[in-house]
Amino acid sequence: MFTFLKAQASSISASMFDFLITIIGVKFFGWWYLAASIAGTVSGGVLNFYINRNWVFNATSKSIKWQAIKYILVWSGNLLLVTLGVYLLTHFFHLNYVLSKVLVSLVLGTTYNYIMQKQFIFTR
């Protein structure tokens, strides 16, 4: 249970960074909300990998190369799911892009991301 809580703390930190990049991209640089969302997801993913490898799963003794390859595979699925979810909620349900991103990220962070990282990427 403690690992799950640490993973959620890591996810929240990475998500806050993700949202910051997304909002800055839209508000200050005038990017399309999906382009900003992708940039935020990439930035948050890098931060999340670092925190999870070093703190959540204590997996620094294993090869970073294979962990990174596995993470990129899982993260690519996450990127597609987040982008699709944000687009659907924003375009068809007319939600604000930030609210769309929050909702999609909460669902994926507590399900898909945690399970894949624990069972596939940072296995003991």
What pLDDT does residue 91 have? 96
Q: Determine how many CB atoms are found less than 10 A away from the CB of residue 119.
A: 9
- How does 29-46 read in b/e, with b if 16+ C-beta sit within 10 Å? eebebbebbbbbbebbbe
Give the predicted TM-score (pTM) of the model.
0.86
Q: Cβ(121)–Cβ(74) under 8 Å?
A: yes
Average pLDDT over residues 81-87: 95
SS3 (DSSP) at 1: coil
Average pLDDT over residues 73-96: 95
Query: What crossing angle do the helices spanning 64-87 and 33-51 adopt, rounded to 10°?
Result: 150
What pLDDT does residue 109 have? 85
Instruction: Check residues 108 and 124 and name the one with the higher pLDDT.
Output: 108
Amino acid letter for position 42: V
Find, among 43, 52, 51, 33, the residue nearest to 90 by Cα. Answer: 33
